[in-house]
RNA sequence: GCCAGAAUAGCUCAGGGGUAGAGCAACUCUCUCGUAAAGAGUAGGUCGUCGGUUCGAUUCCGACUUUUGGCUCCA
C-alpha cells in the first residue's frame, strides 16, 4: 500500500472494500447466507449471495444502515496468508468460497482479508480501514439475479448492485447522469415523439413505425441507398421466407436452430422466416456462372430478418425479434480483397460520420480455436482487415480468437453524445457459406475458384441504429433527419391563409413543414413545436406579412434573422444538404 | 429461458375488500393573441388476461401475457 495509486485505482480499491462491508452487513442480517463473489465494477460494486429468503426494497435500506455502522466503527482490513487447509476450515460452511478456493492455482498464495468479524477469501488489496470509506458517497441500487459464475446451468444467486464514488458530489453527479440517460431513453422518446410502438396483442419484439418515425427511417434509408449506388453497390430484393433446403445447406438449421422462428408448413415443405439474408444473395450469385472479370459483386439489401430472441433479452428497439439489416455481401477474387476491404471500411466511416458520430473505434477479431477454412485464407483475410484499419489510422483493439468460426471480422463502435459505446458496423469474412453452397468463379487460368465472401452491415440494423440515434440526439434530430423541419406559427387567424401558402411553398421545396392553424394560442403552438423538437419555427404575423422577412426561432430558444423567404430557403437547403448537426 | 419488480383513462401517476381519481392530451364553447401552458364545460376506465378465496375482488392468492432491472444469449 506504500506506492502511490492513481485516482482510478484508489476508487477501485475503495469499491472493492465496500463490497466486503456490504457482505458483512448482509451476513449480519442473514447469518446463514452463502457469499459468492463481490468485485468492483465500472460505477461501483456488487456482491452475490445465496439468501434464506427473497430480498425486498426495504432490505436495501437495512443493509445500507448496517454498512454505515460498519464504516463508522473504523475496522481495520487485515490481510493474512493461510494454507489451503486453514482456508478450507475457515470457509467450511461457505460452499461457494470452497469452490473458489479449489480454483486458485496451486502455486498461488491464498490470502484472507478480515474487517471486524467478517473474513473473505480475497486477493486484495483493500483500504487500510473502513474509516477510509465514506458513508455518504455510495448507494445500493438494485437487486438482481445472477447465475453462479455466470453459467446458465448453475444456481441463481441474489446480486446487490451498488454505486460508489470518492465523495458525495461525484455520487450526485452519477445519479444526475442516470437521470439524463433516462430522459434520452429511446423507448421514452419514441412514445413522447410518437415515433414507434410495440404491441402486447401483436407480439413482443416487433416494431410498429408511426408516421414520424417512418419519416426519419425513410430519410436514413434514402441516404443509405444513394450512398450505396455512389459506392458501386447494386440493390437486390429477396424473399422473407425460404424452404428448409436453404437453411440446411447454409447450416443455420444446425447451428442456430434455437434462434429461428419455427417453420411454416406449406405443400409438404417447411418454410422458415429468414434469420439472415446471405443464403438468398448466394442464390442470386449461383444463378449463373461467373468470370473473374465480373467480380467484385457488391450486393446490398435492407433485408428484414426474424430471429427468436429470448423473452428476457428483448429491449426496446435495441433488441427485437424482427429487424432490418442494412446488409450487403461482397464477392471478390483474392486479388481484389485488400482494396475491397479498405473501400468498405472507408464507406463505413463515411456513413457513421454523416450521422454525427465522430469518435469511432475498431475491434479486430481473429481466428478462434474451432474454425472452418484454410489457415492461409484466414491469415490473408485477417491481414487485409488489419491493413485497412491501419491505413485509416483507426484506434483499434484485437480480440485474439474472438472471430466467428467462419471468418475474421472488424466491428466498429461509435461513442455517443454522453460517451456510451455502441457497436454499429461489422465487416465479416465468411469461409463457410461459399463452401456449403459451392460458389465458384472462373479465373483467368480457366480454373474454377472460390470467391471470398464478405458480409457487412454499416448501421447494423435499422431499428437498433434508430434507437441509438434517438438516444444520441436525445430526440432533437439535426434538420436533415428531423421528421418535421419547420413549423409555421401564425400569430393570429388573420395570417392563417398566408401561413398555409407559405407551408405549400416550403413543401414544394422538399422541406418537411406544417403550419399550425389550430385554435390554440400562439404560445401554446410554440410550446407544442418545442415539445416535438421541431428545429425551426417561423412565427408569422402582420409584421412578417408586410416585410416578407422572417425571424426564425430555433428549438434551442434562440432567435435568428435569416432574411427574406428566398434567403430562408437557401439557408435551410444548405443546412439540410450538408447534414449539418447544429441548427 | 432464469431471478426480482411492475401493469389503474391516450400519456404521467394517485388510490385502495363495498365496482375509481388528478394533471396533461382529446372534444365543445368563449378569447384572436408577438416567441414554452387563456378561461369554462364535456366525454373518457371490464383497474393487463384467466382462475381461486370472499356475501362482495380493481384491491388478497395463483397462473398466463406484456414490461422494467439484472443473469444468460446475440449467426
Query: Can you give A406-440 as a three-state secondary structure string?
Result: CECEEEEEEECCCCCEEEEEEEEEECCHHHHCCCC
Residues A249 and A395 in one domain: yes
Residues A176 and A307 in one domain: no
Question: Domain containing A171 — which CATH number?
Answer: 3.30.980.10
Q: What is the pLDDT of residues A439-484, one digit of tens each?
A: 999 999 999 999 999 999 999 999 999 999 999 999 999 999 999 9
Helix-helix angle A496-508:A565-577, to 10 degrees: 40
- Choosing from A94, A325, A428, A485, which is the catalytic residue? A325
Could you give the percent of chain A with pLDDT greater than 70?
99
The mean pLDDT of chain A is 95
Residue that is last in its domain, among A159, A182, A205? A182
Residues A319 and A170 in one domain: no
Matching residue, cell 448501421: A459
Helix (H, G, I), strand (E, B) or coil at A463: helix
What's the grid cell of residue A78? 487485515
Q: What is the pLDDT of residues A327-361, one digit of tens each?
A: 999 999 999 999 999 999 999 999 999 999 999 99
Is the pLDDT assigned to residue A159 strictly greater than 90? yes
Instruction: Establish if A67 belongs to a structural domain.
Output: yes
Instruction: Establish if A480 belongs to a structural domain.
Output: no
Beta strand A360-365 pairing with A395-399: parallel
Burial class (CB in 10 A: 0-12, 13-18, 19+), A324: buried
Burial class (CB in 10 A: 0-12, 13-18, 19+), A537: buried
Instruction: Establish if A2 belongs to a structural domain.
Output: no
Model confidence at A3, pLDDT cuts 50, 70, 90, reads: low
Secondary structure letter of residue A276 according to DSSP: -
Q: CB of A558 under 7 A from strand B?
A: no
Residues A384 and A453 in one domain: yes
Give residues 253-292 of chain A lying near strand B (Cβ < 7 A). Answer: 255-256, 259-260, 275-276
Helix (H, G, I), strand (E, B) or coil at A396: strand
Q: Residue A546: which residues within 8 A CB-CB, separation 6 or more?
A: none
Q: What is the pLDDT of residues A228-257, one digit of tens each?
A: 999 999 999 999 999 999 999 999 999 999
Residues A365 and A395 in one domain: yes
Q: Once rounded to an integer, what is the mean pLDDT over residues A108-121?
A: 91
Residues A198 and A170 in one domain: no
Q: CB of A553 under 7 A from strand B?
A: yes
- Choosing from A329, A386, A413, A525, which is the catalytic residue? A329
Residues A433 and A332 in one domain: yes
Nearest to A196 by CA among A183, A182, A206, A204: A206
Is ipTM beyond 0.90?
yes
Contact (CB, 8 A) for A310 and A418: no
CA of A182, C1' of B12: distance in angstroms: 15
Is the pLDDT assigned to residue A504 strictly greater than 80? yes
- The Cα A317–Cα A466 span in angstroms is 8
Q: CB of A464 under 7 A from strand B?
A: no
Residues A79 and A208 in one domain: no
Instruction: Establish if A294 belongs to a structural domain.
Output: yes
Model confidence at A377, pLDDT cuts 50, 70, 90, reads: very high
Model confidence at A32, pLDDT cuts 50, 70, 90, reads: very high
- Closest-lying nucleotide for A318 based on CA to C1': B74
* The predicted structure's pLDDT at residue A2: 45
**How many domains, chain A?**
3
Secondary structure letter of residue A392 according to DSSP: T
Nearest to A388 by CA among A409, A416, A417: A409
Helix (H, G, I), strand (E, B) or coil at A128: coil
* Residues in a beta bridge with A428: A409, A455
Tell me which protein residue sits closest to nucleotide B48, measuring alpha carbon to C1': A200
Could you give the percent of chain A with pLDDT greater than 90?
93
Beta strand A269-273 pairing with A486-490: unpaired
Instruction: Establish if A478 belongs to a structural domain.
Output: no
Residues A164 and A296 in one domain: no
- Closest-lying nucleotide for A46 based on CA to C1': B70
**Is A379 in the active site?**
no
**Is A327 in the active site?**
yes
- Choosing from A228, A274, A455, A464, which is the catalytic residue? A455
Structural domain boundaries, residue A129: 7-182
Q: CB of A309 under 7 A from strand B?
A: yes
Q: Residue A362: which residues within 8 A CB-CB, separation 6 or more?
A: A389, A394, A395, A396, A397, A410, A411, A412, A413
- Closest-lying nucleotide for A521 based on CA to C1': B33
Tell me which protein residue sits closest to nucleotide B11, measuring alpha carbon to C1': A192
DSSP per-residue string spanning A10-45: HHHHHHHHHHHHHHHHHHHH-TTPEE----EETTEE
CA of A205, C1' of B62: distance in angstroms: 27
- Closest-lying nucleotide for A275 based on CA to C1': B75
Q: Residue A422: which residues within 8 A CB-CB, separation 6 or more?
A: A413, A414, A416, A468
* The predicted structure's pLDDT at residue A450: 96
**What φ, ψ does residue A488 adopt, rounded to 5°?**
-95, 125
Nearest to A521 by CA among A539, A504, A497: A539
Amino acid at each position: 500500500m506504500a506506492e502511490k495509486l492513481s485516482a482510478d485505482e484508489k476508487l477501485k480499491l475503495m469499491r472493492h472494500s465496500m463490497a466486503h462491508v456490504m457482505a458483512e452487513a448482509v451476513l449480519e442480517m442473514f447469518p446463514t447466507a452463502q457469499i459468492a463473489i463481490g468485485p468492483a465494477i465500472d460505477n461501483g460494486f456488487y456482491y452475490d449471495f445465496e439468501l434464506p429468503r427473497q430480498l425486498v426494497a426495504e432490505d436495501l435500506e437495512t443493509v445500507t444502515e448496517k454498512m454505515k455502522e460498519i464504516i463508522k466503527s473504523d475496522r481495520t482490513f487485515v490481510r493474512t496468508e493461510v494454507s489451503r487447509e486453514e482456508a478450507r476450515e475457515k470457509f467450511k460452511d461457505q460452499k461457494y468460497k470452497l469452490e473458489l478456493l479449489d480454483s486458485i492455482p496451486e502455486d498461488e498464495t491464498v490470502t484472507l482479508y478480515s474487517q471486524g468479524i467478517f473474513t473473505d477469501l480475497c486477493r486484495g488489496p483493500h483500504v487500510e480501514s473502513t474509516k477510509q470509506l465514506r458513508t455518504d458517497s455510495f448507494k445500493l441500487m438494485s437487486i438482481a439475479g445472477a447465475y453462479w459464475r455466470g453459467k446458465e446451468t448453475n444456481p441463481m444467486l441474489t446480486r446487490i448492485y451498488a454505486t460508489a464514488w470518492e465523495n458525495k458530489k461525484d455520487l450526485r453527479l452519477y445519479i444526475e447522469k442516470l437521470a439524463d440517460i433516462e430522459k434520452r431513453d429511446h423507448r421514452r422518446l419514441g412514445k413522447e415523439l410518437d415515433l414507434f410502438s410495440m404491441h402486447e396483442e401483436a407480439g413482443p419484439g416487433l416494431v410498429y413505425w408511426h408516421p414520424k418515425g417512418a419519416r426519419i427511417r425513410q430519410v436514413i434509408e434514402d441516404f443509405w441507398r444513394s450512398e450505396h449506388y455512389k459506392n458501386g453497390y447494386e440493390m437486390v430484393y429477396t424473399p422473407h421466407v425460404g424452404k428448409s433446403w436453404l437453411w440446411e445447406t447454409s447450416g443455420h438449421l444446425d447451428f442456430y436452430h434455437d434462434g429461428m422462428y419455427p417453420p411454416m408448413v406449406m405443400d409438404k415443405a417447411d418454410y422458415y422466416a429468414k434469420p439472415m439474408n446471405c443464403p438468398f444473395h448466394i442464390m442470386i450469385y449461383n444463378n449463373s456462372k461467373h468470370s473473374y472479370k465480373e467480380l467484385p459483386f457488391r450486393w446490398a439489401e435492407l433485408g428484414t430478418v426474424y430471429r427468436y430472441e429470448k423473452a428476457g433479452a428483448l429491449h426496446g428497439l435495441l433488441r427485437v425479434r424482427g429487424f432490418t439489416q442494412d446488409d450487403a455481401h461482397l464477392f471478390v477474387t483474392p486479388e481484389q480483397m485488400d482494396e475491397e476491404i479498405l473501400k468498405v471500411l472507408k464507406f463505413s466511416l463515411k456513413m457513421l460520420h454523416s450521422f454525427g458520430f465522430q469518435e469511432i473505434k475498431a475491434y479486430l477479431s481473429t481466428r478462434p480455436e474451432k474454425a472452418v477454412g484454410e489457415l492461409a485464407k484466414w491469415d490473408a483475410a485477417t491481414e487485409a482487415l488489419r491493413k485497412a484499419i491501419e491505413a485509416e489510422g483507426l484506434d483499434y483493439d484485437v480480440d485474439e480468437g474472438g472471430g466467428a468460426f467462419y471468418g475474421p471480422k472488424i466491428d466498429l463502435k461509435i461513442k455517443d453524445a454522453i460517451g456510451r459505446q455502441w457497436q454499429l458496423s461489422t465487416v465479416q469474412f465468411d469461409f463457410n457459406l461459399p463452401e456449403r453452397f459451392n460458389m465458384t468463379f472462373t479465373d483467368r487460368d480457366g480454373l474454377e475458384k472460390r470467391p471470398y465472401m464478405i458480409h457487412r452491415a454499416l448501421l447494423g440494423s435499422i431499428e437498433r441504429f434508430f434507437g441509438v440515434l434517438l438516444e444520441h440526439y436525445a430526440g432533437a434530430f439535426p434538420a436533415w433527419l428531423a421528421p418535421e423541419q419547420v413549423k409555421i406559427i401564425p400569430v393570429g387567424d388573420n395570417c392563417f391563409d398566408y401561413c398555409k401558402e407559405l407551408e405549400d411553398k416550403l413543401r414544394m421545396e422538399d422541406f418537411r413543414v406544417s403550419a399550425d392553424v389550430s385554435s390554440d394560442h400562439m404560445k401554446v403552438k410554440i410550446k407544442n413545436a418545442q415539445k416535438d423538437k421541431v428545429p425551426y419555427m417561423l412565427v408569422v404575423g402582420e409584421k412578417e406579412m408586410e416585410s416578407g422577412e422572417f425571424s426564425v426561432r430555433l428549438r434551442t430558444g434562440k432567435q435568428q434573422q435569416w432574411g427574406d423567404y428566398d434567403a430562408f430557403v437557401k439557408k435551410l437547403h444548405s443546412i439540410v444538404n450538408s447534414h449539418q448537426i447544429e441548427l
